[in-house]
């Protein structure tokens, strides 16, 4: 069954008439009848009884109608959820932060980050800068904040310097 079949059954239930349903679906009556037969063969049940007064769903047809309505609702929820997730930043951020920076600056920064990106899971590693540098070079973390100079050729941002010009904090990123 397809979503189009859900729509067919919904309109048949509403109109109780194959001719009217075919008009609303912009197909001819013969094509609609063939599709109904195909659905019945696929499910191995009789969905409806046809008479001069229109159609009436069988007990099995009522069950199929119920499940198709529920499936349609779930598909709509899935599409909304996926649409929302495409507009929201989510995923996992693995960060390596030097011990000193994490003690004095990380709590406030992390708090603001979680407010701005609530759907991002963070994994924070705090160690000596040398160990954090090895973690980023090995791909164990996505970003690193370290003290001192390190041979890094990818993205980096200077966050601060000592009076003698030596980098106090360096932000390294694999992106």
Mean pLDDT by 10 residues, the chain (175 residues): 93 95 93 95 96 93 96 89 71 87 83 87 89 88 85 78 64 63
CATH annotation of 3-85:
1.10.10.10
Q: How far apart, in Å, are the Cα atoms of 162 and each of 28, 53, 165, 169, 170?
A: 80, 90, 5, 9, 12
CATH class in words for 91-173:
alpha beta
Domain ranges of the chain: 3-85, 91-173
Contact residues for 32 (Cβ-Cβ < 8 A; gap 6+): 8, 18, 21, 22, 25
Q: Is 165 left (phi over 0), alpha (psi -120 to 50) or beta?
A: left
Question: Using CA atoms, how far apart are residues 1 and 39, in angstroms rounded to an integer?
Answer: 7
Query: Tokens standing for 114?
Result: 């979680």
């Amino acid at each position: 069954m397809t979503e189009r079949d859900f729509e067919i059954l919904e309109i048949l239930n509403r109109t109780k008439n194959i001719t009217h349903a075919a008009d609303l679906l912009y197909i001819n009556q013969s094509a609609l009848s063939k599709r109904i037969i195909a659905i019945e063969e696929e499910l191995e049940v009789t969905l409806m009884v046809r008479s001069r007064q229109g159609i009436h769903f069988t007990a099995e047809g009522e069950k199929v109608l119920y499940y198709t309505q529920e499936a349609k609702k779930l598909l709509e929820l899935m599409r909304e959820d996926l649409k929302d997730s495409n507009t929201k930043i989510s995923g996992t951020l693995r960060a390596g932060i030097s011990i000193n920076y994490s003690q004095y600056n990380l709590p406030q920064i992390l708090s603001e980050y979680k407010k701005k990106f609530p759907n991002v899971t963070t994994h924070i590693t705090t160690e000596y800068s040398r160990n954090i540098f090895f973690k980023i070079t090995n791909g164990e973390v996505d970003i690193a904040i370290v003290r001192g100079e390190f041979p890094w050729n990818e993205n980096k941002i200077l966050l601060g310097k000592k009076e003698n010009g030596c980098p106090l904090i360096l932000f390294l990123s694999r992106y």
